[in-house]
Amino acid sequence: MTPADAAEVLALCAAFDLRTIGEADARAWAYALRDLPLDDDTRRAVADHYGVTEKRATPADVRRIRARIREARIGAAHPVYDGNPTETGAQFTERRRAQLAAAADGHLPARSITQALDAAPPAAVLALTAGVGRPVDDEPRPYITPEQRAEIRSTLPNQRAALPALAVACPVETCRAAPRRLCKRGAGIELRTNVHGRRRDAHAVQFATCPECDAGPGQHCTAPEPHPARIRATSVEDDEAEHDRLARLMSTPPTPRENRARHTAGGIRR
């Protein structure tokens, strides 16, 4: 920066802080900023300084703000130097500095890191992966949709009378009822006439054999959820067990009452 350039910078500063400018001021600023050119970044540094403070600008302020402006451009451009295996260290330094200077001057467009690194797989690699396994975005579909699940559960036999699913713990995160404990819904209200659907499913897996995939008691079905036939089989078995229990009770005669001595105030009556 020459004294004439420094005088222009000082004139721009004087427009904000009304300072007086002399030849000595121009020469001093030129020497302090001797390695900086008079360009739009230098002028913007002066404007940015007075945009946030009323203090007089100094050469250090201009230098610091100008460097910040240019560093922001470099960060937005993400310049990547591919390099050359045959180049010398001096050549690398010169070319890398030229690349950073171009980015700081705004000659390189702003781009993301992915764009700068060209991180997208080449077309040849994509063509090879297409024939291996399944595509990455081809996630397995659910066994049944929520609507189908609701329809199937609505047709399952009613288990409200006996609640055999209480034999297992409830796997629902908001419930976690222990075996032989009633399920609970919000606010800790007990479900006295039914259980959570997932608890009923867990009971079917624990005690029934699946008619569709032959999974034995304690073994999960081949599907993500128990097959509806397995749940129905559990319900039928429980209904039959409850029917047999009631039949035994009805066929068993009552136990005769024992004659016991009656104690009265006057002694024992025989």
Q: List, for residues 127-146, the tens digit of each pLDDT value.
A: 777 666 655 555 556 666 77
- Confidence band, pLDDT 50/70/90 cuts, at residue 27: very high
Q: List, for residues 47-95, the tens digit of each pLDDT value.
A: 999 999 999 999 999 999 999 999 999 999 988 888 788 889 899 899 9
CA pair distance 248, 269, nearest whole angstrom: 38
- Confidence band, pLDDT 50/70/90 cuts, at residue 120: low
- Confidence band, pLDDT 50/70/90 cuts, at residue 270: very low
Work out the angle between the directed axes of helices 59-77 and 89-104 (0-180°, nearest 10).
Answer: 100
- With b for 16 or more beta-carbon neighbours within 10 A and e for fewer, the 258-268 pattern comes to eeeeeeeeeee
Of the chain, the end-to-end C-alpha distance in Å amounts to: 133
CA pair distance 154, 162, nearest whole angstrom: 18
CA pair distance 43, 27, nearest whole angstrom: 18
CA pair distance 137, 245, nearest whole angstrom: 54
* Residues whose CB is less than 8 angstroms from the CB of residue 260 and which lie 6 or more positions away in sequence, other chains included: none
Pair 156, 143: CB distance under 8 Å: no
CA pair distance 61, 39, nearest whole angstrom: 16
Q: Which two tokens stand for residue 114?
A: 């992915």
How many C-beta neighbours within 10 Å does residue 166 have? 18
Nearest to 10 by CA among 30, 37, 35, 31: 30
267 φψ region: left (φ > 0), alpha (ψ -120 to 50), beta (else): left
Q: List, for residues 166-225, the tens digit of each pLDDT value.
A: 888 999 888 988 888 888 887 778 888 888 888 888 888 888 888 888 888 888 888 888
